[in-house]
Amino acid sequence: MKEKSKIAFLGSDQIALPFLERFSELFPSCSLCAVLTQPDRPAGRGRKLRQNPIKSWALANNLPLRDPPKPSKEEVLWLGDMGADLLLVMAYGCILKAEMLQVAPRGCFNLHASMLPAYRGASPVETALACGERETAVTLMRVVRKMDAGPIIDSERVLIGERMTGPELRKDLSLACIPLLDRNLTSMLSGTQREIPQVDESATYCRKLNKMDGVLDFAQSAESLDCRIRAFFNWPGSSFFHGENRLRVGKASIAEEDGMLKVGEVGRSAGCDLLIGTACGTLRIEELQKPGGRMLPSSEFLRGYDLPIGTLLLSESSPPLLLER
């Protein structure tokens, strides 16, 4: 019987779980020989250490596992000892050194959640959605010593629905990895894959998101804010300040009202939802949550929270989501 090809996986994010969970079924001629992931991190209100989803999955499936903050020569030697033929990476969270890229005879390949060379960097899913894109992709590429710049093997396109949220888009991108790998893994293991260089001049770069990216800037348009609220639905969330209170926004949409509110001015819809004026159009806030409270429909929230019509809400300018080249 022919020996199975050995694949080592490097990743830390739930987005890779759909194809990992079906790996044995999809690729019976291959085996996962090792998993390299990030260590446990503090999470939740109690800031207790928590495993990432990839580590939990690897442990549940009794796979050889290491979780250093950054891979070192020890991990290179470990993967070599495991006999990895190919390294597959998705949302790992570390830059790989040259010796790591060379440890597997067939090379190191990455699944990046954008249509490269657009949205290279740390937050391609949420940034594409926040920027109003109507289509994105998962791109399979060879890893080189420059961020997300390696030659492209193939991509699987994913449409972005009109009301899609960040978590929903992540799910669709997760599932898109399955046909993408199904088309290409055999040729990658045989060294016969076709690789097309990226056009660096067309590249755009997205940065790592932070908590303040969720603060709404009403000097932007209602359309832009609607995109950001849906993109950041899971993390960092969206919010605005009323006095010292930071009010978290759940669902929102672009209002049909005629947009006569000033930038940051509070109004009400016919259904008593909260309206806020923007630089272009009016934003309808459909769900709100105050500190220590629970998320409520805004009409219900406003019955117990004093936010008078005509109030002018202040907001700080949001830093660009795309980095200058």
In this structure, are residues 300 and 316 in contact, taking their beta carbons and an 8 Å threshold?
Answer: no
C-alpha separations of 168 from 71, 129, 233, 254 in Å: 31, 11, 10, 20
Neighbours of 306 (CB within 10 A): 7
Q: What is the pLDDT of residue 56?
A: 97
Strand 296-297 with 287-289, pairing: antiparallel
Strand 5-11 with 86-90, pairing: parallel
Please give the domain boundaries of the chain with CATH numbers for all domains. 5-206 (3.40.50.170), 211-323 (3.10.25.10)
The predicted-structure confidence for 226-259, as pLDDT tens digits, reads as follows 999 999 999 999 999 999 999 999 999 999 876 6
Query: How far does CA 276 lie from the centroid of its chain?
Result: 28
Low-confidence spans in the chain with pLDDT less than 50: none
Query: How far does CA 45 lie from the centroid of its chain?
Result: 22
Whole-number Å distance between alpha carbons of 182 and 259: 49
In this structure, are residues 108 and 142 in contact, taking their beta carbons and an 8 Å threshold?
Answer: yes
Q: What is the pLDDT of residue 316?
A: 80
Q: What is the pLDDT of residue 23?
A: 92
C-alpha separations of 257 from 138, 194, 260, 271, 312 in Å: 38, 52, 8, 12, 18
In this structure, are residues 286 and 252 in contact, taking their beta carbons and an 8 Å threshold?
Answer: yes
Q: What is the pLDDT of residue 134?
A: 97
Strand 65-66 with 48-50, pairing: unpaired
What global pTM score does this model have? 0.94
Q: What is the pLDDT of residue 1?
A: 56
